[in-house]
Amino acid sequence: MKPIKLGMVGGGSGAFIGAVHRIASRIDGEFNLVAGALSSTPEKARTSGEELGLAPDRSYDSFVEMAKSEARLKDGIEAVAIVTPNHMHYPAAREFLERGIHVICDKPLTATVSDANKMATAVENSNALFILTHNYTGYPMIRQAKELVATGELGKLRIVQVEYAQDWLTEPTHNKQAEWRTDPSRSGAGGSTGDIGTHAYNLARFVSGLTLNKLSADLDAFVPGRRVDDNGHVLMRFEGGAKGMLWCSQVAPGNENGLRLRIFGEKGGLEWSQEDPNYLWYTPFGEAKRRLTRGGAGTSPSANALNRTPGGHPEGYLEAFANLYAEAAQAIRAVQAGQPVPSNVHFPDINDGVEGVRFIDACVRSSSKDAAWVSL
Amino acid sequence: MKPIKLGMVGGGSGAFIGAVHRIASRIDGEFNLVAGALSSTPEKARTSGEELGLAPDRSYDSFVEMAKSEARLKDGIEAVAIVTPNHMHYPAAREFLERGIHVICDKPLTATVSDANKMATAVENSNALFILTHNYTGYPMIRQAKELVATGELGKLRIVQVEYAQDWLTEPTHNKQAEWRTDPSRSGAGGSTGDIGTHAYNLARFVSGLTLNKLSADLDAFVPGRRVDDNGHVLMRFEGGAKGMLWCSQVAPGNENGLRLRIFGEKGGLEWSQEDPNYLWYTPFGEAKRRLTRGGAGTSPSANALNRTPGGHPEGYLEAFANLYAEAAQAIRAVQAGQPVPSNVHFPDINDGVEGVRFIDACVRSSSKDAAWVSL
Amino acid sequence: MKPIKLGMVGGGSGAFIGAVHRIASRIDGEFNLVAGALSSTPEKARTSGEELGLAPDRSYDSFVEMAKSEARLKDGIEAVAIVTPNHMHYPAAREFLERGIHVICDKPLTATVSDANKMATAVENSNALFILTHNYTGYPMIRQAKELVATGELGKLRIVQVEYAQDWLTEPTHNKQAEWRTDPSRSGAGGSTGDIGTHAYNLARFVSGLTLNKLSADLDAFVPGRRVDDNGHVLMRFEGGAKGMLWCSQVAPGNENGLRLRIFGEKGGLEWSQEDPNYLWYTPFGEAKRRLTRGGAGTSPSANALNRTPGGHPEGYLEAFANLYAEAAQAIRAVQAGQPVPSNVHFPDINDGVEGVRFIDACVRSSSKDAAWVSL
Amino acid sequence: MKPIKLGMVGGGSGAFIGAVHRIASRIDGEFNLVAGALSSTPEKARTSGEELGLAPDRSYDSFVEMAKSEARLKDGIEAVAIVTPNHMHYPAAREFLERGIHVICDKPLTATVSDANKMATAVENSNALFILTHNYTGYPMIRQAKELVATGELGKLRIVQVEYAQDWLTEPTHNKQAEWRTDPSRSGAGGSTGDIGTHAYNLARFVSGLTLNKLSADLDAFVPGRRVDDNGHVLMRFEGGAKGMLWCSQVAPGNENGLRLRIFGEKGGLEWSQEDPNYLWYTPFGEAKRRLTRGGAGTSPSANALNRTPGGHPEGYLEAFANLYAEAAQAIRAVQAGQPVPSNVHFPDINDGVEGVRFIDACVRSSSKDAAWVSL
């Protein structure tokens, strides 16, 4: 199999998530980065391209130019990774979708609901695939959890507890990451809700399979002068009667990247923590708690299909991210061969993306109405 | 020092919390159980008295009789432990308070706000002490946590996350414990909120020192036919701007007695879990997380005053409970000597009790109004 | 049931283990401390007696006097707790054993093998019971572990890993506890081996049921000037082919009271740690690891017979210690009623004591011969 | 920077460690696999080459042919990864070393001491680099640990406790991995000692900087018919007086890949576990235990230089492995530029390899003499 030719929009020198996407695309040898519009500043775009060893004529000053040129090339890019700040996701993605180039887009989908809807239309009108990197869904033990729920091991679900706590914005911060993530014009109206709450919500949906009916959100910007929320408390009511709580925070000292999910049903409970991702704690009601380990005894073939190493060899964030790229590759190759996307592929898609943006929007709306119940 | 002569109301054969109170009263040799009205069923009261080795003439058929008789005895009881179902706390306590006998009462204070207010009046009109056994406040590492907050190590508080999760009511249950705890006429209008949510709330208040302004509660009775809530999701707004979430559940498989508290301020964060009570996790913002251990390096004299053994010798639930009895003894001896209650004594009192019942009531009121914000 | 009348030798003001024995004897209300020879210094003995509320005429200057007087009293003590430094265990115990008073003795049995043998003879010639407080055997989850091994759940045993690590002697220390524990004339020839290694060895034997054939020990006194070992590395060969390692240390910074046991057989493995005693980790080979909890799902009636509270209410060091006192009470009452000691009683006895002293002696002998293999 | 052209010997379809090396070489984009002699069975070598997308003329039937051909090519491989069973490491490596091609070799160095010495000579006579993939040294928190020791934070070292426990050979096993690893003619005389004990020993040396003087080993083959040890207990004496214990086992149910290291000195202690590699527990004597996290507060620039993501984004086995490849790349590029190998590069080298084989040999010799002390 030849590697899939990949382009990248955003992700120039110093960017966090761009580097992550590049590693993720490389781990399994399925992608080859050959083009980029790596920064909105042309000079920086060029320097970054050189650093990454791009051919000079495929290191572009703008994504529009890149989309046009690559679409014309005989061996132009087959897929593009979009890793800009949120407000640029739609304008960039549109250019590639229109030209049939598959899009792998970072989350949240867009900065606004309006853009999210436009993105949905663009995807609908394109024959290209759209993959959203809600990367935490790529962890094998999350797939295991999803399967335990789906096969009824937990019984009817009652309670979802999900949280995503960090501390890096505890004090006023002025680095590159913090700047755009706390600027509503670039990140959207949600701060912690947009940056991490949406991950938490997506993960809860992914594993539980539940549909959210209503939420009530109480958001705060604890750091003086901050223009977006840095802490959010959310109550959730799902279709069918399950209830949930979601906490997201970037001002909780002692939490680095604390995404944690707990789900409880009539017959059992699950617990998982992103910082210790190789463990899934499963308690069938009335039995002792079991520690399932990635690749270990009692795990399922579908979860283990995402492993690269046996149990006890910890895999982490980058491998989970790479699992989405691996699934993207599977899907792209299937489409290129005129076949349907394989059913074992579970990457988040445009619907998850729209749902995520609506979640952020609902949190902001609810909070502005004193935490009233709102629908998505 | 002679042991303090103790009576008990409730706590006959098979009762859980009565046995706990007796052990707690015995651990430090400060109390001697000499009288009881151990059951509302006279025959069971007598049998239970025999089992516990009470003198037959001090094993009473009713608490009224007991209060009257003991008050007349030259060496009658000096204190009474009240460990009945909630709705009997007030009628029983009143009899002893009126007669100047110190009362150690299990939580929640009463089954109704009306009774709570009457209890407050009875305490006010009595010269006896009133100790409420919100026993989790007796853990040394909880005292350590309280001190870290009080001395400003965490800075101004922003976020309180507290939860109390169990699973013993996941399915319909018909044992003695479950019966009265799910019967609103005996336990009060709150189910999980009353039985354990009130513990969680009290602990959060105890450690944080914060005052709750408003709450919004979404309560459920997931088990068909259950007449009180078995799961509660609560948003909290404190004076001064801190926010909080409280989760209580008795239907969360995999949780035995999972009371957990996390508090975050501008300068640091704390985490504590009741099932691993000898550890307190403390992170000064920008430094590595520290595991403080009961009696270990970095703990304070006031926390360590509650220890019976050095670090590494785990103390648990019974020792924490006994710490409240030890403080009760200290206070009773002080009062008997005409001295003020020592300032190092921190047992929960009538105000905490009233606050707890108001919390339950507020949860129920809020939930009945679709989780509207209500004041306590 | 009337409490058993208890005396105490040693355990005056400031003693650690004496206070522990007193609490342990009190928790279940089975014993009543009524006499003592609490110090070898008569004045201190008297003061300590006053502090503990002993009647002046039953607070003795010496254990010989106490044994003689109490034996003559109509309601003299029925049992005595011996909590002196090791070298006094035998001289004290003998006086009571000769007079038919049951002996509860702290570990190690004696400071020398010669004394251990004399103690064995004294016990053999007495109709009194002899209980050795290797207290860690009193933990319910240790009983659970013993049962899993005994019922064959682990299959034939292959490997025993046991360790007991502390750090309190990392630097030269001069408190009361350290003084006698590092003085070979009082503690015996073993330092860490005698104080804690013997606990580790006893626990491994208790749970595994294995018999030690040979050991090879490499002991060190890392702190300059220390006259006994403060660190020991021991290889073990058991009858039947199982092998083991034992590490004891009092100079391992970061370890408070780190007694840990792991046992592996052909069919499964177990792990337990004293500092988290309510958990037992059990892995049937080929299945997921299970966390058994004290009183929780999957635990056995015999383990649960030692519980005072339900699962999730942590019990600790003092409760485990009290379990040996409770078993002592059961045995004493049986003997007093002319019945055999109940089969569910598992407290360590004189044989365990002799075995423990031989273990220390073997470690010291082996180490002095460059870690040669020696028999016990 | 152009990727370094890499060849591979061994690692055909179904091989575990070959796939790991390929991923590790890819993660940072520093290597490009362009040639291989992927199996000793020519047909399998060819098929495997096709699967990996090698050009047919660079997929060789034998490593000798590959070494000769590639050395002649203008853009032949610059480095080769040797991932065969142990007994082939030397014959293969020699061919490349002689031709100045850098060698990245899996551990242990060779199956025999004799081969190890020949390998040392071959390295000495070559101007090529030799990198041994004792991959666990590549974990950032291991680098942090090494630095804490080296800068004296632990004071003079006293105790090293290291273990490597697995359970995959608990029963007779006949898969490809098990076959050669339990065949002394291919793996060498050590079983668990060679496969994992040597990793444990290397890690202990790497972090502690100590030199082993003598060891005493008690090895067992618990599974009937097994020709090499599957469990080893080792006592260690280091230069300068520190002592250690090493346990390696492949028959310990409940252990997947349990490599754990603890080091204690006069001033502090460290603990690290490979299955939770992002945490390093550090206790300065007399202070609370601290949990250092990869990339988190309190970590050093040299440890963090190996990170790809911020704290809280778990990195694992593959990233640690890739760190050795990244350091290999740094060193290769330096050598190609006529510069010295940078001082921040810490990959294990030929000396570590020889030391490792001597360790295995010493364990086997000691055990055959009833665990006598032997020198390496």
Give the mean pLDDT of A329-335.
98
DSSP secondary structure, B185-233, as one string: HHH-S-SHIIIIIHHHHHHHHHHH---EEEEEEEEE--STT-SS-SEEE
Chain A interface test: which of C289, C290, C291, C293 (most A C-beta within 10 Å): C289
Average pLDDT over residues A239-250: 98
Q: How many angstroms separate the CA of residue D285 from the nearest CA in chain B?
A: 9
pLDDT at B217: 98
Confidence of residue B142 (pLDDT cuts 50, 70, 90): very high
- How high does pLDDT run on average in chain D? 97
How does residue D61 score in pLDDT terms, banded at 50, 70 and 90? very high
Our CA-based measurement puts residue B165 at a distance from the nearest CA of chain C, in whole angstroms, of 10
**Alpha-carbon distances of A125 from A71, A96, A248, B89, B371, rounded to whole Å:** 17, 12, 35, 69, 42
Question: What residues does D82 pair with on adjacent strands?
Answer: D9, D105
Domain boundaries, chain A: 4-128, 142-310+355-375
Q: H/E element holding B327?
A: helix B317-336
Q: Is the pLDDT of residue C154 over 90?
A: yes
CA Rg value for chain B? 20
In terms of phi and psi (left: phi > 0; alpha: psi -120 to 50; beta: otherwise), the region of B303 is alpha
Measure the CA–CA gap between C220 and C237, rounded to whole angstroms: 21
In this prediction, residues B69-76 reach a mean pLDDT of 97
Mind listing the pLDDT tens digit for each residue in C266-289?
Answer: 999 999 999 999 999 999 999 999
Read off the tokens for A178. 């913090």
Cβ D231–C218 below 8 Å, yes or no? no
Q: Would you place residue D180 in the very low, low, confident or very high pLDDT band (cuts 50, 70, 90)?
A: confident
Q: Which of A241, A245, A271 sits opposite B247 (nearest CB)?
A: A245
Peptide bond into B172 cis (omega under 30): no
Model confidence band, residue C357 (pLDDT cutoffs 50, 70, 90): very high
CA distance B277 to chain C (A): 8
Residues written for chain D:
376
What chain D residue is nearest to B292 in terms of C-alpha separation?
D288
pLDDT above 90 for C173: no
Question: pLDDT > 70: what percent of chain D?
Answer: 100
The enclosing H or E element of C352 equals: helix C350-368
C267 sits in the region (left: phi over 0; alpha: psi -120 to 50; else beta) called alpha
Within 8 A of A20 by CB-CB distance, chain D residues are: 308-309
Superfamily covering domain B4-128: NAD(P)-binding Rossmann-like Domain (3.40.50.720)
pLDDT at C174 over 90: no
- Chain A residues with beta carbon closer than 8 angstroms to that of C279: none
Arithmetic mean of pLDDT over chain B: 97
Q: Identify the pLDDT of residue A14.
A: 84
Q: For the domain bounded by A142-310+355-375, which CATH number is listed?
A: 3.30.360.10
pLDDT in tens, D331-359: 999 999 999 999 999 999 999 999 999 99
Q: Which residues of B touch C309 (CB under 8 A)?
A: 16, 20, 317-318
Identify whether the C-beta of residue B17 lies closer than 8 Å to the C-beta of residue B83.
yes
For residues C355 and A85, give the distance between their C-alpha atoms in angstroms, rounded to a whole number: 71
Q: What pLDDT is attached to residue D15?
A: 83
Could you tell me the CA-to-CA distances from D296 to A167, A231, A254, B187 in Å, in that order?
11, 21, 10, 47
Comparing alpha-carbon positions, the chain C residue that sits nearest to B29 is: C26
CA–CA dist D109, B296 (Å, integer): 45
Asked if B314 and C276 come within 8 Å (Cβ–Cβ), the reply is yes
Contacts of A289 in chain B (CB under 8 A): 254
Look-up of token digits 């004189």: C350
In A87-175, alpha helices (H): 89-98, 113-124, 140-150
Could D243 and C167 be called an inter-chain contact, meaning their C-beta atoms sit closer than 8 Å?
no
- Residue B271 to residue A289, Cβ atoms within 8 A: no
User: pLDDT tens digits, residue range C185-220?
Assistant: 888 999 999 999 999 999 999 999 999 999 999 999
Average pLDDT for residues A80-106, to the nearest whole number? 97
> Nearest CA to CA, how far is C311 from chain A (Å)?
12
Q: Is the pLDDT assigned to residue C78 strictly greater than 90?
A: yes
Q: Average pLDDT, stretch D24-49?
A: 96
- In a 13 Å sphere around the CA of D253, the CA atoms on its Cβ side amount to 27
Residues 6+ apart with CB under 8 A from B343: none
Task: Tell how strand D231-238 and strand D374-375 pair up.
Answer: unpaired
Report the pLDDT value the prediction gives residue C253, as an integer from 0 to 100: 98
**Chains sharing 3 or more CB pairs under 8 A with chain A:** B, C, D
Q: What is the model's pLDDT at position D19?
A: 96
CB B10 within 8 A of CB B84: yes
B59 secondary structure, DSSP code: B
* Closest CB from C20, C311, C317 relative to B256: C311
CA distances from B360 to B193, B229, C75, C240, D39 (A): 6, 11, 53, 62, 71
Would you state the pLDDT for residue A254?
98
pLDDT on residue D48: 96
CA D142 to chain centroid, in Å, comes to 14
Chains adjacent to D (≥3 CB pairs closer than 8 angstroms): A, B, C
**Angstroms from D259 CA to nearest CA on chain C:** 15
Q: pLDDT for C128-142, tens place per residue?
A: 999 999 999 999 999
Which tops the pLDDT comparison, C318 or B179? C318
> Are the C-beta atoms of A101 and A80 separated by less than 8 Å?
yes
**Averaged pLDDT, B305-319:** 97
To the nearest whole Å, the CA of B86 is away from the closest chain C CA by 20
Residues near D15 by Cβ (< 8 Å), separated by ≥ 6?
D83, D176
What does the alpha-carbon distance between residue D351 and residue D117 come to, in Å, rounded to a whole number?
10
Question: What pLDDT, on the 0 to 100 scale, is given for residue A182?
Answer: 86
Strand C79-82 with B258-265, pairing: unpaired
Contact D103, D96 (CB under 8 A): yes
Domains B4-128 and B139-309+355-375 share a fold: no
State what percent of residues in chain D have pLDDT above 90: 95
pLDDT digits (tens, 9 = 90+) for A177-228: 788 888 898 889 999 999 999 999 999 999 999 999 999 999 999 999 999 9
The Cα of C156 is separated from the nearest Cα of chain A by a number of Å equal to 22
Pick the CATH number of C140-311+355-375 from 3.40.50.2000, 2.60.40.420, 3.30.360.10, 3.30.530.20: 3.30.360.10
Alpha carbons C156 and C240: distance in angstroms, whole number: 9
**Residue numbers in B near C277 (CB within 8 A):** 314
Of B258, B275, B316, the CB nearest to C319: B316
C–D CB contacts, 8 A cutoff, strictly below: 123
Within 8 A of A256 by CB-CB distance, chain D residues are 293, 296, 310-312
Tokens standing for residue A140: 């094998």
CB contact (8 A) between residue D290 and residue B293: no
Amino acid type, C19: A
From CA B122, how far away is CA B119, in angstroms rounded? 5
What's the rounded Cα separation, in Å, for the pair C248 and D131? 38
Inter-residue contact A209 to A149 (CB < 8 Å): yes
**Residues comprising chain B, all counted:** 376
pTM: predicted TM-score of the whole model, two decimal places? 0.97
Q: What is the predicted pLDDT for the residue at D176?
A: 76
Question: D126 pLDDT exceeds 80?
Answer: yes
The Cα–Cα gap between B263 and D236 comes to: 46
In this predicted structure, what is the pLDDT of residue D243? 98
Contact B312 C258 (CB under 8 A): yes
Nearest-angstrom CA–CA distance, A15 and B67: 74
For residue C298, list chain A residues with Cβ-Cβ distance below 8 A. Answer: 287-288
Exposed/middle/buried for residue D240 (C-beta within 10 Å: 0-12, 13-18, 19+): exposed
Contacts of B296 in chain D (CB under 8 A): 288
Beta strands in D197-267 (DSSP E): 212-220, 231-238, 243-249, 258-265
- H helix intervals, chain A: 16-27, 42-51, 63-72, 89-98, 113-124, 140-150, 176-181, 184-187, 192, 198-208, 301-304, 317-336, 350-368
Structure confidence at residue A87 (pLDDT): 95
Residue C1 scores a pLDDT above 80: no
Does the structure show a pLDDT above 80 at B314?
yes
Q: How far is residue C105's CA from residue C48's CA, in Å, rounded to a whole number?
A: 20
% of chain C at pLDDT higher than 90: 95
pLDDT above 80 for D164: yes
Q: Which residues of C touch A291 (CB under 8 A)?
A: 288-291
Supply the DSSP symbol for D193: I
For residue A270, the chain B residues in CB contact (below 8 A) are: 254
| pLDDT of A261 strictly over 80 | yes
Q: Residue A263: its pLDDT value, please?
A: 98
Of D26, D258, D276, the CB nearest to A27: D26
Please tell me which chains touch B, using 3 or more CB pairs under 8 Å as the contact test.
Answer: A, C, D
SS3 D15: coil
DSSP codes joined into one string, A14-28: T-HHHHHHHHHHHHT
Minimum-distance CB partner of A256 among D19, D257, D311: D311
Taking an 8 Å cut-off on Cβ atoms, the answer to whether B290 and D293 are in contact is no
Amino acid at B322: A
Q: What is the pLDDT of residue C100?
A: 98
Judging contacts by C-beta atoms under 8 Å, the chain C residues touching residue B196 are: none
The string of pLDDT tens digits covering residues B13-70 is: 888 899 999 999 999 999 999 999 999 999 999 999 999 999 999 999 999 999 999 9
A187, HSE (Cβ side, Cα atoms, 13 Å): 23
Q: Which residues have a Cβ under 8 Å from the Cβ of D315 and sit 6 or more positions away? A: A316, A317, A318, D140, D277, D278, D294, D307, D308, D309
How does DSSP assign B109-164, residue by residue? S-SSHHHHHHHHHHHHT-SS-EEE--GGGG-HHHHHHHHHHHTTTT-SEEEEEEEE
Nearest residue of chain B to residue A224 (CA atoms): B266
Interface touch A314/D1, C-beta < 8 Å:
no
The answer on pLDDT for D214 being more than 80 is: yes
Check residue D177 and give its pLDDT.
77
Nearest C-alpha in A relative to C285: A297
| Contact: C257, B29; criterion CB under 8 Å | no
Q: Which residue of A has its CA nearest to D28?
A: A23
Q: Classify residue B107 as exposed, middle or buried by CB count within 10 Å of its CB (0-12, 13-18, 19+).
A: buried
> Using the beta-carbon criterion (under 8 Å), do D317 and A317 form an inter-chain contact?
no
- B283–A253 CB contact, under 8 Å: yes
Contacts of B258 in chain C (CB under 8 A): 312
Q: Phi first, then psi: give them for residue B150, nearest 5 degrees.
A: -65, -35
* Domain spanning D139-309+355-375: CATH superfamily: Dihydrodipicolinate Reductase; domain 2 (3.30.360.10)
Among chain C residues, the shortest Cα distance to D249 is held by C159
Q: How confident is the model at residue D325 (pLDDT cuts 50, 70, 90)?
A: very high
Round to whole Å and give the CA distance between A282 and A280. 6
CB contact under 8 A, B310 and C274: no
Residue B177 clears pLDDT 80, i.e. is over it? no
